[in-house]
Amino acid sequence: MTNLLRTRGINVRFAVHPVSGRMPGQCNVLLAEAGVPYDLVFEMDEINDDFGDTDVVLVIGANDTVNPISLEPGSSIAGMPVLHVWKSKTVVVMKRGMASGYADVPNPLFYKSNTRMLFGDAKDLCEALKVGIEKVPK
């Protein structure tokens, strides 16, 4: 999907939270194994300010690391650094279901007016999106 979008002139970048994956650094390794060029992969601090100028963010499997409730002083994850994806025009979240993340905190991102939820296996959903994009005339 990345190559397809890039051939159509779409700026594609990957944002990686420091604790994403099952262990720190796992997502970077998986992206490298998938052949994603290093210059498309950004750490949270490098990309967070860009979300306000972003048309679409595709969130795959994340929960706590994109939870805006971390900005609320009284929340149990207050102060946790998160990716500010909700600032983009549209957020598409891929998850298997609405279960909470490791912190067991509700995520208001999932209910924001600019968020769309896609439920299912992320690999299958990405493939379906790719097929849909291929059908759109250039």
Q: Any idea which residues carry the catalytic annotation?
A: 64
Chain centroid offset of residue 114 CA: 14
State the residue for tokens 């306000």: 52
User: Cα angle at 116 between 19 and 1, to 5 degrees?
Assistant: 70
CA distances from 7 to 1, 13, 29, 134, 138 (A): 10, 14, 24, 11, 10
What is the C-alpha R_g of the chain? Answer: 15
Beta bridge partners of 90: 56
